[in-house]
Structure 1
Amino acid sequence: MTTARRLETTAMAKASDALTLFRETSAALRRTVPFDAAVWQSTDPATGMATAPMRAENLGEDGCATYWNAELLSEKVNLFRDLARAAVPVAALRDGAADSPEHSAVYREFLQPRGLDDELRAVLRADGQWWGQVSLFRSKGRPPFSKWELAAVSGLTTFLGRRLRSYAEPAPEPVVDGGRGPGLLLFDRGGALLSINDEARDFLAGMPAGPSAPSRFGVSVPAWIHSTAASATQAEEARIRAKDRSGRWLVFHASCLRDADGSPHQTAVVIEPAKASEVASLITAAYGLTERELEITQLIGRGLSTAQLATKLYLSQHTVRDHVKSIFTKTGVTSRGELVAKLYAEHYQPLNPTTRIRVWD
């Protein structure tokens, strides 16, 4: 039996949500691959950007903006986006930096000031999609992460990616939107919050607890919002999807505002309830649909009949029926109407609002 297989405990396999999965995995992994601090993150598979929920272990709340500004604006070593495309989606800082960690912006600006000396990173992916990521940290004086330890973590990445993907599955009852307008947060170029409207306060109050940074407005800004705002300064705009504690999907859209000379000046983050179409791809992925089944599901949502599907996809009607039958089986429905309702309306799953995810041990 492989090390990874031994680590896949019953508690991990039965975890009902991402935060529970992170907690159980951390406890099991720490016994085999010791670490002193960690950050466990869900990601939006469309962009690979960090989103809620997130779990931090043995890390204070003072470094969110520092970490993400270093990672997104100046880091050159072991970038998560590179690991997501790598054959083995795991790397260690000292190994990747040829034991010259000062080449890493995250090391210089985040790890070293906190007495941390090495970082093991892993992207949690399933069927090529990026559903999460983890950073494990070791303190100064501890040995660097070994090749064997990297291999042990690598063996868990697909299992964890599939588990994270499964949490996009909808709950039986939809959450009704209260009809609020969009939330708005405005950040300066250094990541400090400059302004926030009442709607944004309400949206943030409903998000699951997680690593965050305090602001002068009495509002703690989640780390993944800081990372989204930082990304927008490089790509003009950035967008992620996340669930609040009631299970409603929200969209966070960041846009960079520039000075007359084109340099980044401020970043605006708009928060709105997600349209059903904006999260349908997450939900269908949660059910393990194939690319063809996903395509057929989307066309069913547009009202195409079996004959129309066959014509559009250059398939026989018999083949279309087989695909539809498979879709019904995977999603647990018995009719097209039920399928559309489940995937395009009931796309919410409640989270546990009492879960504590910043821990010290």
Structure 2
Amino acid sequence: MTGREELIARAVRADGPYEMFSTLAAQLRRAVPYDVGVWRATDPETGMITSPVLAENTEDHSCTAYWRYELFTERINLFRDLARAPVPVASLWDSTGGRPARSGLYRDFLVPRGLHDELRAVLRVDGRPHGYVSLFRAKGRPAFTASERRFLQDLGTPIARRLRSYAKTRPAPAEDGPTGTGLLLFDAGGALLSANDEARRYLEELPDGPTSVTALGVRVPLWVHGTAMRARAIAERHGGDTARIRMRARTGRWLVCHGSCLRGADGELGFSAVVIERAPASEITPLVVLAYELSDRELQVTQCVARGLPTNAIAAELHLSPHTVRDHIKSIFEKLDVSSRGELVGRLFTEYGEPALSTATERRVL
């Protein structure tokens, strides 16, 4: 077993994404030495950072400052560009031809912190990003090499696949907790102005990670703060993107966090509002489907099963033979470890999200 294979084997045995990031961080330094590292899970639909985030040897406020460059000013090696690139790994020195001062991130973020180079990677599988990695080297150490970039690149798909699989973990039973809508209001500079009681309760449920300490005494995790910043960046660009993430509480309960930047009567951008609420099944089912690695055709068959269609009707709608439909259903049952259509629908639509959806709502999910 090679060093890369051994590293992957150890990482994928982790019980959760944070534990996997910790394992990767401890093992990767032997092959790709670095001084500062940040490991982030991402929402595969929006590419935004979500929980958890592991930050090594850096202050919490630096994580927030770093992300501002990604959203507002930096133009080199952006994660959203790497997520679509043929090779989703890049180092700052290599990308600038040995002239890193071309990068505002280098001049204003790395240099003041005594850092010399950054190696970035998008952990993606089937074209979707499931994690972002940032590794930094201190001044006086050599820049990241091509072989080190390749080593990290080779980790990307298997680690992304394992990150994707954690969506299959069912939430622990929870008899209480917030049930309403949490609302947070941020000013133009990203400072938290106000938060309702439900928002405070939701924030208390979120896992540990880099946070911003606010004047309200509320600690706001990077991924929630990042949602507010993303909302403002979208408004500034007049873009059609969405500032929305699915995130997990410490209990495994799924939550949705989405933001929007408000405008005044004069059309100027003002405050950013961020909403946190429990995630309905319609938000979580797509993640669970990805986690179970259903093929496109299996996904279509699952849609039909969720609508209550019998085998012959599914065959007619998808232009397949009834025998082929039965083969697909058998494969779907095996992947999800269920033995009936009712159990399949229950597994995908009711076990992960809350509140439970009506049948009519479920039909619009897949």
Q: Which has the bigger relative contact order, CA under 8 A and spacing at least 6?
A: 1
Task: Select between 139-148 and 230-239 the one with higher mean Cα deviation.
Answer: 230-239
Change over 3 Å in CA distance of 1:177–1:106 after alignment to 2:
farther
In the TM superposition, 1:9-28 aligns within 5 A as 9=9, 11-28=10-27
1:273 to 2:268 alignment: no
The aligned counterpart of 1:202 is 201
**The one of 292, 296, 302 aligned to 2:301:** 296
SS in structure 1 of the partner of residue 243 of structure 2: strand
* Residues 1-361 of structure 1 mapped to structure 2, 5 A cutoff: 3-9=3-9, 11-171=10-170, 175=174, 178=177, 180-236=179-235, 237-347=242-352
**TM-score with structure 2 setting the length:** 0.90
The TM-score normalised by the length of structure 1 is 0.92
In the alignment, the residues of structure 1 paired with residue 137 and residue 196 of structure 2 have an alpha-carbon distance, to the nearest angstrom, of 40
* Segment of structure 1 superposing worse, 228-237 or 15-24: 228-237
Q: Which runs of 5+ in 1 are unaligned?
A: 349-361
Cα pair distance change 1:333/1:172, threshold 3 Å: farther
Structure 2 residue identity aligned to 1:151 = R
> Deviations along 1:136-182, whole A, 9 cap, x unmatched?
01111111111111011111001110110110004286656756210
Deviation at 1:46, TM superposition (A): 0.4
Higher helix share: 2
> Deviation of residue 40 (structure 1)?
0.4
Give secondary structure in 2 for the equivalent of 1:72: helix
CA distance in 2, matches of 1:264, 1:63: 25
Q: Which secondary structure does the structure 2 equivalent of 1:160 belong to?
A: helix
Instruction: Give secondary structure in 2 for the equivalent of 1:200.
Output: helix
How far apart, in 2, do the equivalents of 1:238 and 1:50 lie? Answer: 10
Distance in 1 (CA, whole Å) between partners of 2:178 and 2:56 is: 36
Q: Residue 131 of structure 1: CA displacement?
A: 0.7
Report sequence identity in percent: 54
The number of residue pairs the alignment matches comes to 347
Q: Secondary structure of the residue that 1:98 maps to in structure 2?
A: coil
Q: CA deviation at 1:189?
A: 1.3
Distance 2:136 2:332 in 1: 42
Q: CA deviation at 1:298?
A: 2.6
Mapped to 2, the partners of 1:100 and 1:308 lie a distance apart of 62
Quote the RMSD (CA, aligned, Å).
1.7
Shift of 1:219: 1.1
Structure 1 letter corresponding to 2:352: H
Structure 2 CA distance for partners of 1:291 and 1:219, relative to 1, 3 Å: same
Partner AA of 1:75 in structure 2 = E
Corresponding residue SS for 2:331: helix
